[in-house]
């Protein structure tokens, strides 16, 4: 029995395939989904999604939060933004990170600081996830 996995954003389908295991970052930490998992709905944090296929090959996706649903060996991940590791331009992300960190120092309000912290977290996640493409 295979487990189907679909990762979608408002713009497109990022991944649609089968897996033996999915590891995701929840709000309270990482968790894994295997075939036969009980139905569940879980909010996702900013983090790396790891999809392991039946040949034990891993695919990594940088996910900027969202929702994960499991039902009848179907895993659906809905995210505001997600990117396959192989599509991440590491040099571009590093430039964006440097710019974001400079902007963070200029922000005076708590709300603005929180927004910049979240942006830095998203960029750090993409940077870390993008490094898997080099393996």
pLDDT digits (tens, 9 = 90+) for 91-113: 999 999 999 888 877 887 888 88
- 131: confidence class by pLDDT, cuts 50, 70, 90: confident
pTM of the model: 0.90
pLDDT digits (tens, 9 = 90+) for 65-76: 999 999 999 999
Per-chain mean pLDDT for the chain: 92
Please indicate, yes or no, whether residues 95 and 57 belong to a single structural domain of this protein. Answer: no
Which CATH number does the domain housing residue 40 bear? 2.60.15.10
Number of domains in the chain: 2
Please indicate, yes or no, whether residues 50 and 80 belong to a single structural domain of this protein. Answer: yes
Please indicate, yes or no, whether residues 78 and 112 belong to a single structural domain of this protein. Answer: no
**3-state per-residue secondary structure call for 43-105:** EEEEEEEEEECCCCCEEEEEEEEEEEEEECCEEEEECCCEEEHHHCCHHHHHHHHHHHHHHHH
- 1: confidence class by pLDDT, cuts 50, 70, 90: low
Please indicate, yes or no, whether residues 48 and 106 belong to a single structural domain of this protein. Answer: no
């Amino acid at each position: 029995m295979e487990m189907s996995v679909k990762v979608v954003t408002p713009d497109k389908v990022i991944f649609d395939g089968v897996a033996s295991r999915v590891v995701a970052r929840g709000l309270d930490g990482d968790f894994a989904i295997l075939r036969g998992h009980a139905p569940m709905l879980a909010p996702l944090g900013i983090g790396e999604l790891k999809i392991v296929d039946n040949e034990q090959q891993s695919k990594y996706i940088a996910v900027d939060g969202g929702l994960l649903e499991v039902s009848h060996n179907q895993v659906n991940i809905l995210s505001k933004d997600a990117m396959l590791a192989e599509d991440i331009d590491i040099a571009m992300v590093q430039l964006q990170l440097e710019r974001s960190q400079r902007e963070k120092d200029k922000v005076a309000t708590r709300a603005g600081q929180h927004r910049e912290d979240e942006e830095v977290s998203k960029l750090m996640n993409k940077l870390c996830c993008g490094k898997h493409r080099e393996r």
